[in-house]
Structure 1
Amino acid sequence: MAETNSNNIGPNEVDREIEIAADEDDGDNVSNIGSTVASSTTSVWSSSILDRRIENGGTYHRYKEGKYTMPNDETENDRLDLQHHLFRLTFEGRLGNNAPPIEPDAKVGRVLDLGCGTGIWAIDYGDEHPDTEVLWIDLSPTQPEFTALNVMFEIDDVEEPWTYTEPFDYIYS
Structure 2
Amino acid sequence: MRAADLQIALPVVRRETTAVEAARLIAEGGLVGLVIANDAGTPVAILSAVDVLQLMVPDYVLDDPSLAGVFDEKGAAELWESLDRRTIAELVDNSRVAVRKILAVDPGDTLIEVAARMVEARTQIVRVKGAPHESPVFVTLPSVMSAILQDWSVTGHESGSA
Q: Which has the higher strand share?
A: 1
Higher relative contact order (CA 8 A, sep 6+): 2
**TM-score between the two structures when normalised by the length of structure 1:** 0.24
Structure number, greater radius of gyration: 2
**TM-score between the two structures when normalised by the length of structure 2:** 0.25
Q: Which has the higher helix share?
A: 2
